[in-house]
């Protein structure tokens, strides 16, 4: 079983994910499929984005809301076995919970390099 399938199975049983409403991408008129293209280029799946929004550190930056996953966030969650895979994932949204509008998602390399065991 690959990691995305395992993550999807854990996601189905997680009650905190129910707080999350509908996830919609923000469409820029100049680049209508930005989020989908970046997800494919960076190997980021929708279940990963959902975990980042629910369990990530929330920060406000230039009018956007960012969610970043760290080891500390995931340590006491059902996703602790995915720490190495999810570390450093950052999701940038226009609106926060309950109905986030996602601009982009990427790997924050400085956080990805910090391994706390």
First to last CA, the chain: 26
Contact 10, 1 (CB under 8 A): no
Residue 81 CA to residue 9 CA, distance in Å, equals: 13
Q: What is the pLDDT along the chain (117 residues), one digit of tens a residue?
A: 688 888 888 888 888 888 888 888 888 888 888 888 888 889 899 999 999 999 999 999 888 999 999 999 899 899 999 998 999 999 999 887 788 889 999 998 777 677 665
Tokens for 59, please give them.
Answer: 């920060």
pTM for the model stands at: 0.86
Contact by Cβ (8 Å): 25, 32: no
């Amino acid at each position: 079983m690959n990691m995305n399938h395992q993550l999807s199975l854990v996601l189905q049983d997680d009650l905190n994910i129910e707080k999350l409403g509908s996830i919609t991408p923000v469409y820029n008129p100049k680049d209508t499929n930005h989020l989908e293209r970046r997800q494919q280029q960076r190997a980021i799946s929708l279940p990963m984005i959902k975990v980042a929004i629910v369990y990530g550190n929330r920060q406000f930056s230039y009018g956007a809301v960012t969610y970043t996953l760290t080891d500390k966030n995931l340590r006491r969650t059902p996703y602790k076995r995915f720490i190495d895979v999810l570390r450093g994932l950052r999701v940038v949204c226009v609106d926060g919970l309950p109905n986030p509008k996602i601009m982009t998602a990427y790997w924050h390399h400085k956080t990805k390099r910090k391994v706390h065991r």
